[in-house]
A and B are shown apart, each in its own frame.
Chain A
Amino acid sequence: MKKIFVYSLSLIAIAFSSCKMDIVNPNGPTDAQVVSTREGLITYSIGMKQNYAASAFESLAITTGGTTREVKGIATFTTVLEIEAGGSALPTFNAATLGVWLRMNRVMGMADDIIANAPTVLATDNALRSGVVAHAHLFKAMAIGGLATAFEQVPIATNKAGGVTFVTRQNGLLKAIELLEQAAALIAATAPSGEFNTRVAGANFNLLNCINAYLARYNMMAGRYAQAIAAANLVPLSSVSQFAYDGAQTVNPLYNQLRVVNSYSPRDNFGLPAGLFDPADGRIAFYFQGAQVSSGPDVLRTIRGFAQTNSSPIPVYLPDEMRLIKAEAILRSGGTVADAITEINAVRQQSSGDAFGVHANLPAYSGSTTVNDLLIEVYRQRCAELYLSGLRLEDSRRFGRTAPPANVNPVPVSFERNRNFYPYPDQERLNNPNTPADPAI
């Protein structure tokens, strides 16, 4: 009897001692593994880029596209109805505006991790470090720029402990510009290694061209015209940089939203009122396909453009944006009007040779050549050329299109945008006392 009892107890003892309580997660690494190793930082950079391409860009393009009438919210999900209605009725708990805020901040958080850890982890590998850090700078700048598109004030660094403070969007843009200038300097000093170019940048992604294109864009947004022109001039128009999608693990977000999820549908003629588009514009046939379907006062189409399949690539920037930045910067800085018209016509008359096949195929500009009218023409061209690339909301404000009323809900579709800026999401305000006051509209 005693024996049995002793046996039993030893059985328990054996069982207990033989079992491990510290079980390693086989499904993926932890943060500690990723940020402390060379392989970790390389693969983190790839993941960050994928996350921007699949997630952050989706929110920027679709949500702000809904606000600017590029797409129409057709699902009856509350979130979609609220985006479509806009105005002061857009609640602070809207899931789509939270999406823009959350996803951009998430990319920024990843970039911050890489920027913070690369100097030590990659201390001895200069050529890899310059690429990885410059790449992280680019994405951090894109995250700040994306936030500045939709919000009045933005963070310029994430903090896992919370309590982040905010700067005006102008200062945010200046920070983004600073990051991009540093990135350009880094890779000018030490060319990124072949390993960086193959593994992180990958095919069809030229880091320097992307840095310069976004420098041009953010300088334009920040009102720094000379710097915008200078940066735009550095971008070769024939070069292609694009986000890749495999249609399975990383699905083209425009295709997914507009062809699969179907919560939003493209408005015909880039969602523009008569006068702001030319029915003969070749880009209508580039961006849209299928029948015109009436939906209340709107006419909807099926998306084409960069959303033809779930694996179609999406440009990081369109080369013709550089021409239009130059035209606009010339006009706004009191430059030679003829030079601006040259750039505008280069876009209008393009019928072949665009790196992404976006051809307006229109006659040369023949309208009024006052600066104001030419700026409207630049806006027109930007709306068509850069359709659904997350730029329309910023453009609509910068070109002084009529602001939506603060007291009419829903905002009538005759207004080209239904918000100026989004309110800060509840999730930020409830967890961060530094969150600024919401804009009225």
Chain B
Amino acid sequence: MKRNLKKQKGRWVQVPMFLLLLMLCSMVQAQVTISGKVTGSGNAAAPNVSVVVRNTNFGTSTDATGAYSFSATLKPGKYVLEFSGVGYKTATKNISIESGTNSYTSNVELEDDVLGLDEVVVTGTGVATKKKQLGNAISTVSGRELTRGGATSIDMGLQGKVAGAQVTQNSGNPAGGITVRLRGPSTIVGSSDPLYIVDGVIVNNDSRQLIDLGGYAQNRLVDLNPADIDRIEIIKGAAAAAIYGSRANNGVVQIFTKKGREGKPQFNFSTQLRSSSLRKKLEYNKVPFRFTNFIASDLTTVPVQRYDLQDKIFQNAIGTENVLSVSGGNVNTKYYASVSNLYNEGIIRNTNFMRNGFRLNLQQKLNKTMTLNFNTAYTYSTSKEIPNGGINEAYGALTGFIFGNNYVNPDKDPATGIYPSINASAIVARTNPLEAIERFDFRQKTSRIVSSAQLTIKPVTGLNIEFTSGIDNYTQTATAYIPPRNTTPSYSGGFIRRADATVIQLNNDLTATYQKEIANELQSTTSLGGTLQYDRTLTFSANATQLGAFGQTINNGTIAAGEFRGERVIMGAFLQQTFGFKNRYFVTGAARVDASSVYGIDNRWQFFPKVSGTYIVSNEKFWSDGLAKAVSSLKLRAAYGQSGNLTAIGQYDRFTNFSPVVYGGQAGYIAPSTLGNFTVKPERQTEVEVGFDLGLLNDAISVEFSYFNKDVKDLILNRTLAPTTGYNNRFVNIGTMTNKGFEFLVRAVILNKNKLRWVSSLSYLNNKNIVNGVEGNGVLPFAGGFGQVAAVNGYPLGAYYSTFFARNPDGTLLRDLNGLPQRERGIQLANGNYTVQRGSNGQPTGTLLSKVIGQPNPKHVISKIDELDFGKFNFRMQWDAMLGYDVFNFTKRVGDRDFYGGLKGYEPELRGEVPKGTSAALFSIFENWIEDGSFVKLREVSLAYNMKPKFLKGNSMRLSVIGRNLFSFDKYSGWDPEVNAAGQDNAVRGFDFVEVPIPRMIMFAVNVNF
């Protein structure tokens, strides 16, 4: 197998070599200078517009005044000058080089490209390509769109701006915790996060729970400062991503940071003050008495005073952000540098996140043909955390809040300073949230450097060779301290944890692209590339318990430590060929081979093909003027591709790995619970995408529509084994998963008159995810969802699978003999099916039944963005909606129950409106706690005023007021239907268990250019 591929590789090399030879013939040439000025609408200077002589290597960019000048060696003849820049429609000018004339001038006025129809992208293509020519949909987001709404991280900024993406903020903690899904998930055991590439560096976006914060975790994309971003390109599946091969199952997000611009130093300073607050409070139990006991027949009560702990837990938080950047340079050297500080307090008291960033992007022209880009960013981020949630641990503040009795005065004893357990019963202590906030000390620190060197060589016309070497290296350190003698249920002797992760990722990529008009109106683009990726993860963790009264390091208690070291190598190569004919027909074919050290030798090498075609119908001659007025452009496209997931399982998961243990002073090894599997192979996705792009009314309206069908086969399931095998589980390629749906993006210039411009866009995603191939009874529960979340054949990933109400034929509740609601019983069948059984007394009999009672994947993901420019004012508003999904409201399940009873839902039982014992009965009927999570949120709204005050000497300044998550229209009874207590977990979604809600934010920002 390996030998075979080597042979293939050899053959691939021959193709571009042949193409190279083709272009070696040269002719008599003359040295000429071409210069001019480029303007935009209203005769304004158009800076940073690229000017090139088509089909040659000569060209430059305009400076701040819109002027350009470059010299070229051209043989006499007719040439085409091409002017392209972000925000402008590409324009061309003919130029005729005559012998004897050395100097030429060409001025041009560019039209605004309000809807970005002329964008140039590089992701998925290997070389800058007009979006128009691509056979697949690609989304682009500008740095401006990203930052205007006050987002603190890149992925947060992507919310609502990408058709086909579902971006969910899982926690309202100040560092977020965000999940991005492009056209649905594509794995169960791995991560469904897209591949993130920043300036050619594959960056790590792990969500490590080094300390247990209840399920919440930061995802490491939070280390990147959105203000440094120039633009983002997003491809969403295998059809586009095949050339990224092994890691592209979830799509690719390619991020480009800002580059320096020719000219004198241009400074930009922005400062922001933000205020965050709790958007909505839970209604709490205000009944001024409680039952004396939990015996159903005993209705005696005692008076109590009820407290609203939310007032003591949440705060109005303050945040600041300051960014200073400078860019400039000359023809040969350009630079962009920035320094930034973000300080963001959380709405839970005593939580915050701080990020300090430094960036330097350098571009140096080495000689006529070679350019070096060197980009480096260093980030140091720190956070102060309060644990909440409680997927595994019960020491959190909000965890204590929901499990506590709200008739216990939470304040500490004024005499002793000791906090009371929030549980009235002495059997189990419940963490007093105020103690957690005041006495616990949980922190995280991350020191990270992301750096890349990109060497671009243009040795001859049409040939572009790019070598990228990237490194992403960080150390994340987390510490936890719970002092001894506290109110936690499990750690009364105190708890200390220190955990470190040191991650390094390296990637080396070499791509050569050759473009040539090989016959009249037949354009050929050939790309050949190779990649070598290496990553290493070192984690260390130590816990200490039985603490002394002082000290926060692990040496203050009995230590248990652990360590993991993992290494992984991935290599791959691709060849891609595009033919464009008459600027109408485009066909692309690509092949990629990949290998990952994660898999055994027999399954290591994988082959991924891709093919796509585009037909720009509106470029046909028959597209008459009359038709073109109504439908200014029409493009049909279709794409097919495969990609893999070479990182779904861990580095060594194919082995049966024994665990070391020291027992009685002797080293020993325990057989693991996971049985190894040498035959496990990478998951493989096949995607078909068809769609069209439409421009209407002279491109005043643009429509992008795509239908997609993503099919994952060889889906790896961590299937359970019969325990009599001696093992518990094993990774096996038995599942399948599909994502079928469509997405569209409609953008329209509604008004464009004088000083008023109104641009509106609407994006929509409809996706249906289905899992199949689960063996046994077709149900595979996941950890992290309290056993209530499972893969069920025929249902979407993350379906809630649990107990439900026994009902009468008419749908009313079938109550038990005590008049309480009860769970359904009968015979459990496979795939979530069942047969209900009734005993002779009409009551349910048989085993307790489970079925799919809800699912967390929205049917409709919709965003609407309106942007109004009126003179110096800019108004922007973004509404995000996710409709047709369920939330598992564990918060209410606990808070409504008699033992805890801190929420309003317990009041009817106290008041005698329902039989005593109802809340306890409902507690185990999980169907009762599924709620519709559909919401429409005012995600972003901003009003900015642009001015050019005299003291800035022609430079500009912007003042803005920004609101974020100000309102939500939903029927959800909890704090926020958007969060997920299981954090960035791939399978457990929509799980509300006292996760911190997303705050309402108001910001004031000043941005100055000088």
Our count of residue pairs bridging A and B at CB distance below 8 angstroms stands at 246
Interface readout for A86-120 with B: 1 if CB under 8 Å, 0 if not? 00010111010010011001101110110000000
Contact flag A19-B532 (CB < 8 Å), given A40-B669, A51-B670: yes
The stretch that binds B, out of A158-166, A208-216, A322-330, A387-395, is A158-166
- Chain A residues, CB < 8 A from B465: 4-5, 8
| Contact A164–B667 (Cβ < 8 Å) | no
| Sample of 16 further A-B pairs with CB below 8 A, known A4-B465, A27-B563, A262-B490 | A15-B532, A30-B658, A31-B671, A34-B658, A47-B670, A50-B670, A53-B663, A78-B786, A159-B725, A162-B724, A247-B546, A265-B427, A296-B293, A427-B720, A431-B775, A431-B776
* 8 Å CB contact of A428 from B425, B460, B671, B724: B724
Q: B121 interface residue, CB < 8 Å from A?
A: no
Q: Decide: A9 and B669 in contact? CB cutoff 8 A.
A: no
**CB under 8 Å from chain B, chain A span 1-60:** 1-2, 4-5, 8-9, 11-12, 15-16, 19-23, 25-31, 33-34, 40, 43-51, 53
Across the interface, do A105 and B724 meet the contact criterion of CB distance under 8 Å? yes
Whether B669 contacts A78 by the Cβ 8 Å rule is: no
Question: Is B897 a contact partner of A76 (Cβ separation < 8 A)?
Answer: yes
CB-based contact B720/A431 at 8 Å: yes
**B415 within 8 A of partner (CB):** no
Q: List 28 A-B contacts (CB under 8 A).
A: A5-B465, A5-B512, A9-B13, A19-B569, A26-B565, A27-B652, A28-B669, A31-B656, A40-B669, A43-B669, A49-B663, A76-B897, A78-B786, A78-B924, A81-B924, A91-B848, A105-B726, A108-B726, A110-B670, A113-B726, A159-B724, A162-B722, A202-B663, A261-B490, A293-B426, A296-B295, A427-B722, A435-B722
Residues 887-924 of B, flagged 1 when their CB comes within 8 A of A and 0 if not, give 00000001001010000000000000000000000011
Q: Which residues of A contact B489 (CB under 8 A)?
A: 262
The answer to whether B530 touches A22, judged by C-beta atoms less than 8 angstroms apart, is no
Q: Mark B458-480, 1 if CB is under 8 A from A, else 0.
A: 01100101010000000000000
Chain B residues with CB under 8 Å of A247's CB are 546, 558
Q: How would residues 308 to 320 of chain A score, 1 for a CB under 8 Å from any chain B CB and 0 otherwise?
A: 0010000000000
Query: Using Cβ atoms and an 8 Å threshold, which residues of chain B touch A162?
Result: 721-722, 724-725
Task: Give the shortest distance, in Å, between A85 (CB) and chain B (any CB).
Answer: 10
A12 near B652: Cβ-Cβ < 8 Å: no
Q: Considering the complex, which residues of chain B in the window 597-620 have a beta carbon less than 8 Å from any beta carbon of chain A?
A: 597, 601, 604
- B665 interface residue, CB < 8 Å from A? yes
Q: Which residues of chain B in 344-360 are interfacial with respect to chain A, using CB atoms and an 8 Å cutoff?
A: none
Cross-chain contact A203 with B664 (CB below 8 angstroms): yes
Q: Tell me, yes or no, whether A274 is within 8 Å of chain B by CB.
A: no
A83: Cβ under 8 A from any B Cβ = no
A residues within 8 A CB of B776?
A: 430-431
Q: Is B137 an interface residue (CB 8 A)?
A: no
Asked whether, in the complex, the Cβ of B676 is within 8 Å of the Cβ of A31, the reply is: yes
**Cross-chain contact A5 with B20 (CB below 8 angstroms):** yes
- Bound: A161/B924 CA distance, A: 37
How far apart are the CA atoms of A420 and B566 in the complex, in Å?
Answer: 47
For A112, A250, A293, A296, the residue with the greatest tally of chain B CB atoms inside 10 Å of its CB is A250
Distance A420 CA – B655 CA, assembled complex (angstroms): 40
In the bound assembly, the distance between CA atoms of A430 and B661 in angstroms comes to 32
What's the Cα separation between A49 and B666 when bound, in Å? Answer: 11
Q: Is A354 an interface residue (CB 8 A)?
A: no
CA distance A269 to B593 in the complex (A): 69
A98 and B723 contact, Cβ closer than 8 Å, known pairs A46-B667, A262-B428, A295-B425: yes
Which of chain B's residues have a CB closer than 8 A to the CB of A21?
569, 571, 595, 597, 601, 604
For chain A, the count of residues having a C-beta within 8 Å of the partner chain is: 92
Q: A19-B569, A27-B565 are in contact. Are A48 and B725 (CB under 8 A)?
A: no
Q: Looking at the complex, which one of A11, A27, A102 makes contact with B657 (CB distance below 8 Å)? A: A27
**Across the A-B interface, the 5 shortest Cβ-Cβ residue pairs:** A109-B726, A46-B668, A430-B776, A1-B459, A50-B663
B510 CB within 8 Å of chain A: yes
Q: How far is the CA of A247 from the CA of B559 in the complex (A)?
A: 9
Q: Please list the residues of chain A having a beta carbon within 8 angstroms of any beta carbon in chain B.
A: 1-2, 4-5, 8-9, 11-12, 15-16, 19-23, 25-31, 33-34, 40, 43-51, 53, 74-79, 81, 89, 91-93, 95, 98, 101-102, 105-106, 108-110, 112-113, 155, 158-162, 164, 199-200, 202-203, 244, 246-250, 260-262, 265, 291, 293, 295-296, 300, 310, 425-428, 430-432, 435
* Bound-state Cα–Cα, A23 to B596, Å: 11
In whole angstroms, what is the CA distance A11 to B467 when docked? Answer: 10
Point out the residues of chain B lying under 8 angstroms from A260, CB to CB: 490-491
Q: How far is the CA of A9 from the CA of B673 in the complex (A)?
A: 45
Q: Is the CB–CB distance between A428 and B722 below 8 Å?
A: yes
Is there an interface contact between A95 and B559, defined as CB atoms closer than 8 Å?
no
- By a CB distance below 8 angstroms, the chain A residues around B595 are 21
Least CB distance, B876 to chain A, in whole angstroms: 45
Residues of B within 8 A of A25 (CB): 651-652, 655, 657
Instruction: Assess the A202–B658 pair: CB atoms within 8 A.
Output: no
- Tell me the smallest distance from the CB of B488 to a CB of chain A, in Å: 10
Instruction: Determine the distance from Cα of A106 to Cα of B721 in the docked complex, in whole angstroms.
Output: 12
Known: A161-B725, A427-B722. A295 touches B427 (CB 8 A): yes
